[in-house]
Structure formats: structure tokens, C-alpha cells
Amino acid sequence: MKPFVYKKAGTVAEAVRAGAAPGAKYLGGGTNLVDLMRETIEQPATLVDVTGLSSDIRRLRDGGLLIGAAVRNTELATHREVRTRYPVLTRAVVAGASGQIRNMATVGGNMLQRTRCAYFYDAKGSRCNKRNPGQGCDAIEGFNRMHAILGASSACVATHPSDMSVALAALDAVVHLDGPGGPREVPLTELHRLPGETPEVETVLRQGELVTAVELPPLSWAKRSTYRKVRDRASYAFALVSVAAAIDVRGGKVKEVRIALGGVAHKPWRAREAEAALSGGPATVKAFRAAAEAELADARPLRDNGFKVELAARTITAVLGELAGGVR
């Protein structure tokens, strides 16, 4: 990897100052960034280590939780309130990577990890619009089993690999940022972008912006939530399809429902069509399946991933059925 300068930030202000320099990148656990540096895909001039900042989980006055960006994935997953009040989040985090990686990985880094598209990774031998804008995409007609079926473009069909972010998308989490332009908040569902013509622009973060925390709203009914990840081996593989869901059923009717999908798009995919289809309606398997199909109506499968459409529909249906407790 290219030689670089390493700095450890003691405060947010210090981090933001150092992070504003050209070629600077924030460093979390390094489990993704350092890999990409080894592959020469990322070549930062300066690494600003932000693992010393905001590493606690706090209860907010409204009952929500504020999770520091430097909280390690393991800590997040095992936190008592997270486990009991937002089981979908714990399950999503532990469905990702391995124990060792989760011990290193931070909340901020997990959110901002980059795609695992094989052509993106092959810096020397393959074309990639994300890595080299305008170069072309070798994935569209290549190996794309792991790729997007929703929201992709002719420039990029990559998926966002994070499991944690799918749960955060379902939970209406809000990302706290700080940067040269001052602090601001962005809903997680709006943090990541669809590829469009500029797949190299992956998030709405501005130059030098730092993730400081993630806020979870209280959502009392999120106790009844879960995460189901379907993948090519039992552990240590990225999702083919994953479903994060929470549902509140009263008297056979769907009062509240949140669904997000992983492994299907360039961002954690909040299934608003499915939610709208279900809201206020009957909590039946038939309704769940119909809602899933509505969400997937616009799916555009590629050479190797046509099965994802049916797999996603089945998984959504099964997860909602499980949460609703043996409905028919």
C-alpha cells in the first residue's frame, strides 16, 4: 500500500480539522479500509484514527438510544438495551463478518464500508465505474450473483454489503454528522445513494464529514423485530438476500411495520412499497407475500442473480409470518 501519515484524533474538532485536508480519510477498525489500501483501491495520504471518539451508547430523554460512531460492532450487538429493545440490530450485527472482525469494526466504519463486487476489488485487471469513473463495468455481464436487483443503473450493479445498516434502515435510525460545515443529521435511509451515473459517489457525506453517532428512535414495538440473512455458507459470507423487519399486529391487522432489505441494492433498501401495502391491512401470509411482490415488482435481475427475486419474496414472507406469530 501507498505510504501514508497516521494521526489519532483526540476530539471531534481535531478529527474534523485533520479530516478536511485533501487525501485524508477517517479510520475506524480498519477492517475494510486497510484491505482496500492493500489492494491500492484506496490511497489516502493521511489516516485520521477516530476510534478514540464517541464510543459509548447513551439513552436519550425520549427513550431512544445514541450510539457513538466508534462503538465496536461486538459491543453494540451485546449491549443490553440493544438486545432487548432492538433485537433486529443485534441479529444483523452478529450475522456479519466474524467475531474477530466485529471486535475491531466500528459503527461508523460498518456503515461506510464499500461494496464487495469482485470487479471493484480487481484494481489491476477489471473495469469498474466506481473505482475508475467512466471506465465501464465488468460486473453487468460478468459474475453478478451477489449483485443488485433493485435500483441499479447501467453504470453500476454493486450492492452495499453492510448487515448492520439494513437493520438501522428498518429502525428509522438517524446519522449524526459533523464536519467543516458544522453538525447535521441525516436519516440512515438517505445516507447511501443509488448508483445512477456516478457510482463513485456512494453517500451524501460532504468532503471531510465525520459520522459521530447514530440515533435510534424509541419504537417500543421494535421489540418484535428480527433479521434474517440468507447466504452461501452458514457463516462468514455476505448476504444474498437479507430482511430486517419489525411489525406490530393488533387484532389481526398490521398497525405498524418496517421492512428493509440487504443484498439487493446499492444501499440498504427500505421496502416502503411493501410497508404501504401492509399498513392497516390483514396480517396474513397472503398479504405478506403480496406486499413482498409489490416491493419487488421493479426488480431487474442480472445473469446470475435472478433467483434473488423469489428468494427475497419468500424471505420477506417468512420473516413477517414469524414475527406475526404463526398467522396463516
Ligand X SMILES: Cc1cc2nc3c(=O)[nH]c(=O)nc-3n(C[C@H](O)[C@H](O)[C@H](O)COP(=O)(O)OP(=O)(O)OC[C@H]3O[C@@H](n4cnc5c(N)ncnc54)[C@H](O)[C@@H]3O)c2cc1C
- Residue 153 CB partners (closer than 8 Å, separation 6+): 194, 195, 196, 197, 199
120 binds another protein (CB under 8 A): no
Amino acid at 229: K
91 binds ligand X (CB under 6 A): no
How far, in Å, CA of 316 to CA of 229, rounded? 11
90, 113, 226, 305: residue in contact with ligand X (rule CB under 6 A): 113
- And the C-alpha cell for 289? 407475500
Do residues 51 and 10 touch, judged by C-beta distance below 8 A?
no
115 binds ligand X (CB under 6 A): no
141 binds another protein (CB under 8 A): yes
How many of the chain's residues bind another protein (CB under 8 A)?
30
Nearer to ligand X (CB atom), residue 69 or residue 271:
69
Q: Return the one option of another protein, ligand X, none that residue 104 interacts with (CB less than 5 to 8 A, by type).
A: ligand X
56 binds another protein (CB under 8 A): no
Q: Which candidate, 109, 139, 101, 95, places its Cα nearest to that of 242?
A: 95
CB of 286 to ligand X, least distance (A): 32
Residue 231 Rama label (left phi>0; alpha psi -120 to 50; beta) = beta
How many of the chain's residues bind ligand X (CB under 6 A)?
31
How far, in Å, CA of 214 to CA of 237, rounded? 25
Stretch that binds another protein, among 8-16, 162-170, 276-284, 305-313 (CB under 8 A): 305-313
Nearer to ligand X (CB atom), residue 27 or residue 261:
27
Site for another protein in 195-234 (CB under 8 A): 230, 232-234
Stretch that binds another protein, among 65-73, 137-145, 266-274, 276-284 (CB under 8 A): 137-145
Do residues 173 and 216 touch, judged by C-beta distance below 8 A?
yes
Residues at the contact surface with ligand X, assessed by CB under 6 A = 25-33, 35, 50, 69, 73, 96-97, 101, 104-106, 108-110, 112-113, 161-164, 210-211, 238
Residues at the contact surface with another protein, assessed by CB under 8 A = 1-3, 38, 40, 116, 118-119, 122, 124-126, 138, 141-143, 230, 232-237, 240, 307, 310-311, 314-315, 318
